[in-house]
Amino acid sequence: MNLKSKKQMIGRMYGVGMKRIAIRSPNDVKEAITRRDIEDMVANGVIEIKAEKGMRSTKKNRARRGFGSTKKKVVDRKRDYIMLTRKLRKFLNGAREKSIVNKEKYEKLRSKIKARAFKSLGYLKEAIRGDEK
């Protein structure tokens, strides 16, 4: 007994897929002709529409969030990186001028600053002190 066309019609009516439609008595559904007949069968429980599986509905809601909420964070991270890099480079230039750091160490530390190896000026000072020992 093929009820594919009936299931397709039910799916279009209720906006669900064919897998979510369960038919209790196929003979009654086969005799249904109009949409009104099908609506009555859904109300009586002859045709059941199953609930969605998993967490799709919450994922859809999460996906609808706009990009504006993350955009601000990215701008702040970039600004933090710029400010920290400038501060560390300025300190490193001063250390080179005072002969605390030689040219080789300066170049190594400069590349580490670019790679964001130091979280703050304190970490850079500690790295310089560690190299001196």
Task: Tell me: pLDDT of 56 over 80.
Answer: no
Range of the domain at 8: 4-52
Task: Tell me: pLDDT of 125 over 60.
Answer: yes
* 7-46 tens-digit pLDDT: 898 999 999 998 899 988 888 888 888 889 889 999 998 8
CB atoms < 10 A from the CB of 117, how many? 13
Of 93, 81, 91, the closest CA to residue 117 belongs to 81
Model confidence pTM above 0.85: no
Task: Tell me: pLDDT of 1 over 90.
Answer: no
CATH code of the domain containing 80: 1.10.1200
Cβ–Cβ < 8 Å for 38, 15? no
User: Does 15 map to a domain?
Assistant: yes
CATH code of the domain containing 35: 1.10.1650.10
Residue type, 130: G
**What was the pLDDT predicted at 91?**
95
